[in-house]
Amino acid sequence: MARILQIRRGTTAQNDNFTGLSGEITMDTTKKKIRIHDGETLGGFELARTDDIPTIDEVFDINSVSTEFWDNLFESYGSHAIQSASIDPVDLNTNINYIDCSFDDLSKMPLISRATLICKSDDAGYVTGDETDAFGIGDYAKPMIYTYINNNVVRTRLFIAKSQIWVPNKTNGVKTNITTSKWQVKISVYY
């Protein structure tokens, strides 16, 4: 007569309250599933049956993932949330060498500093309220902002060097000199 191997078995409630030996296998007779034990974890680890595993043909809905899952994921693997600070927009003036800004409420170096132009009055295809970070000063497109900390205050400096400021025309993309009285600049930092 053939030998039969029978493993420990019980209902879901019985399995949930059982800590098996390390490497022990039990059967959940309610769910018809196998559990693996490590000698420490109450209830062990339930193994999925093939009918529990979604097939490739099933559609995955990202909205079905719980908020708790995403919160835990970002807390575990994500960097800190990015915060930002901006100055109120200031008028452009090409008769100066640079525009200085201070962020008194910051004491650490930002990751990114950014300048955007805000249209005050229709110009170069833009209308009042339009904002763009595509601009240039003199021969340089997308000018860099010099950012530093002085006396625990983050400071930024956008060099203009008394040069012409231009934007790509919003309608046709052609480099177009702007009328500085029709524009303001806003400096933002991200940390």
Domain ranges across the chain: 1-53, 84-190
Residue 137 φ then ψ, to 5°: -130, 120
CA distance 105 to 191: 12
pLDDT at residue number 87? 87
pLDDT at residue number 78? 63
pLDDT at residue number 58? 64
Mean pLDDT for back-to-back runs of 10 residues, the chain (191 residues): 86 94 94 94 91 72 78 71 82 85 80 91 94 91 88 89 92 92 92 80
Assigned fold of 1-53: Seminal Fluid Protein  PDC-109 (Domain B) (2.10.10)
Half-sphere exposure of residue 119: CA atoms within 13 angstroms, side-chain side? 19
pLDDT at residue number 109? 82
CA distance 15 to 30: 10
pLDDT at residue number 43? 93
Bridge partners of 148, per DSSP, are 155
Token pair 């109120």 is at which residue?
Answer: 88
Half-sphere exposure of residue 100: CA atoms within 13 angstroms, side-chain side? 10
Helix intervals (H) in 52-155: 67-77
> What letters, b where the CB count within 10 A reaches 16 and e where it falls short, cover 75-95?
eeeeeeeeeebeeebeebeee
Which of 94, 88, 61, 81 is CA-nearest to residue 188? 88
Task: Name the helix (H) or strand (E) containing 15.
Answer: helix 12-16
CB atoms within 10 A of CB 135: 20
pLDDT at residue number 80? 61
**Contact by Cβ (8 Å): 114, 105:** no
- Prediction pTM value: 0.56
